[in-house]
Amino acid sequence: MIAKTIRTCFPIAAAAVSDKAEDINKLNVFPVPDGDTGTNMSLTLASVVKELSSLSADADMEAIAGAITHGSLMGARGNSGVITSQILRGVAEGLVDATDPATSADVAAALRNAVKVAFKAVRKPVEGTILTVLRDISTKADSCAKARESVEDTLDAIVVEAYQSVARTPDLLPVLKENGVVDSGAFGFAIFLENFVAAALGRTAVKTEDFAATFDASADSAREGALDRVKIEANDDWEGSEYRYCNEFLFKADAPFDEEECLQFLASMGDCELLVGAYPDYKIHVHSNTPNLVLEHMLQLGQIYEVFIHNMDMESRERTAKIHEDQDAAPAEPAKPLGFVAVAAGSGEAEILESLGVDVVVSGGQTMNPSTADLLDAVSKVNAEAVIILPDNGNIRMAAEAAATACTDKQVAVVPTKTVPQAFSALFAVLPDSSLEDAVEAMTEALEDVRDGEVTSAVRDSQASDGSPIHAGDVMGIIGGSIDVVGSDVKQVTLECINRMQEDEEGDSLTILAGADLSDEDFEDIIAAIEEAQPDLEIDSHRGEQPLYPVIFSIE
């Protein structure tokens, strides 16, 4: 059953990667923008498909695993292809002793083996790549197995995790964030995995031209979350890699040799060195300025064949030119009637604002106020006829109003939000297709029902609103801009602030955001204390990840 499933589903998933190869290519910026990740992964997978097709109809899982291992090794192209080959080898070998039909425990064991094999092949694993996604889905599979979930639910869960992990790659690898892309190899791997699972579970294969939803809402949302971060841009300012040539070839050793010593030699020639396989057959990959020296050295140890040497500088220029062509040829989208710019200090805050319809989130807050120019630049990026700016801080309001006045090519207005939770309420108040005037009026009215609070620590001696002393390091509770509560514990101060606000005027709902320095455990403890003290208050809690303020909240 497992063998039959793999033989049936593998070609479908490989075809999906082939269909998206060009898009995957355009994402590639790491380790150099060589622009061939999609092509390399597709060719590697195609080699496996060919190897599988040559097996007899009754081939068992051991034969399937051998075909996958040999086919992916022989067909591996580029750094991404070689790593993909090791992932496939690890999964296939891990399934040889699986029960039939497979269980969630079998899936988890196969992925653990893939992690072991793939990470062993890479001397210097880098976070934010295909290896990170592999490890993340392996961890997810382990948790599913421990919970004794069905194999169907486990497969669905790892697809969701794969796309969520892809979406996180720019946060782990600076070069990705700088270039506005997710990791290309990770993206290609998620495409393969999703389509394989779709076929295995008897669903319609994902339409790769538009990624039409085929899974449940959570998987669809995860995919969209990753795709939202796939913003392919021309990379004109790339500084170039230290090494120009991508060298890869198959190698047949004349006799057993010191593989670690060979890897050290390859490392001395360049970077991204890989030596995978087992005596006598190996695949070798390295980026180097002297491919001739690499080949000469290996010829002393055995025979080389199927040699590919790519000039990555030329590939980078071709990639950039192609992206420019695509951008120039793409018709401009019509401007929508109304757009939004908001300011946020934390990544969690930004994600929530974007989910509520904010087009551009400007990084800033209490101690890092964005300038008028920053806000004008954000407004210019919004493809809308009119734009509303949400400053989300009293200190940013004047800069926002100055930006609104200075903008000449579109209508701009400011809704004077003082906190991010206020912005949430204001955005909920906007009706679809509202005019600028109606939206500003509705959003401003919504602010009247929002009372906000913040918890932070004093950096110097001062005094509270009632004249009591505040010492540096004290925890302060700020209600509506006034320091009304002083204590030594974040939970105690937060709870006292909320209790006072409820005594003054009882609200129905609480929105509360955890800061970057507040642990999940402490945040959950605070929520539990609020639930006990205010059982009638509906609580909406999120990670805001804002600096300096462990807790910010609003009551309506």
Q: How many Å apart are CA 546 and CA 515, to the nearest integer? A: 5
Q: Does residue 239 form part of some domain?
A: no
Q: Does residue 234 form part of some domain?
A: no
Q: Does residue 423 contact residue 350 with C-beta atoms inside 8 Å?
A: no
H/E element holding 441?
Answer: helix 436-447
Q: What is the pLDDT of residue 436?
A: 95
Q: How many Å apart are CA 247 and CA 285, to the nearest integer? A: 6
Q: Does residue 237 form part of some domain?
A: no
Please check whether residues 349 and 397 belong to one and the same domain. Answer: yes
Q: How many Å apart are CA 319 and CA 159, to the nearest integer? A: 29
User: Would you tell me how many other CB atoms lie within 10 Å of the CB of residue 554?
Assistant: 27
Please check whether residues 389 and 278 belong to one and the same domain. Answer: no
Q: Does residue 492 form part of some domain?
A: yes
The amino acid at residue 180 is G
Q: What is the pLDDT of residue 34?
A: 43
Q: CATH number of the domain that 301 lies in?
A: 3.30.70
Which range marks the domain in which residue 531 is found? 451-555
Q: How many Å apart are CA 17 and CA 11, to the nearest integer? A: 10
Q: How many Å apart are CA 61 and CA 65, to the nearest integer? A: 6
What does pLDDT average to in each consecutive run of 10 residues of the chain (556 residues)?
90 91 69 62 92 92 93 83 90 91 94 93 82 94 95 92 87 72 85 92 56 41 51 43 83 92 90 86 90 93 90 73 65 86 92 94 78 92 95 90 91 94 94 91 94 90 86 92 92 95 93 94 96 94 92 94
Residues belonging to the chain: 556
Please check whether residues 429 and 456 belong to one and the same domain. Answer: no
Structure tokens at 420: 């991010």
Please check whether residues 161 and 100 belong to one and the same domain. Answer: yes
Nearest to 308, CA basis, from 334, 286, 341: 286
Q: CATH number of the domain that 529 lies in?
A: 3.30.1180
Please check whether residues 204 and 106 belong to one and the same domain. Answer: yes
Structure tokens at 120: 């062993």
Please check whether residues 175 and 294 belong to one and the same domain. Answer: no
pTM, entire model: 0.51
Please check whether residues 416 and 464 belong to one and the same domain. Answer: no
Q: How many Å apart are CA 175 and CA 188, to the nearest integer? A: 18
535 prior amide bond cis, ω within 30: no
Nearest to 136, CA basis, from 118, 106, 115, 150: 115
Q: How many Å apart are CA 424 and CA 417, to the nearest integer? A: 10
Q: Does residue 260 form part of some domain?
A: yes
Please check whether residues 151 and 17 belong to one and the same domain. Answer: yes
Please check whether residues 487 and 466 belong to one and the same domain. Answer: yes
Nearest to 168, CA basis, from 128, 134, 135, 140: 128
Q: What is the pLDDT of residue 553?
A: 95
Q: CATH number of the domain that 379 lies in?
A: 3.40.50.510
Please check whether residues 90 and 175 belong to one and the same domain. Answer: yes
> What is the Cα gyration radius of the chain?
28
Burial class (CB in 10 A: 0-12, 13-18, 19+), 528: exposed
Count up the domains in the chain and report the number: 4
Q: What is the pLDDT of residue 312?
A: 78
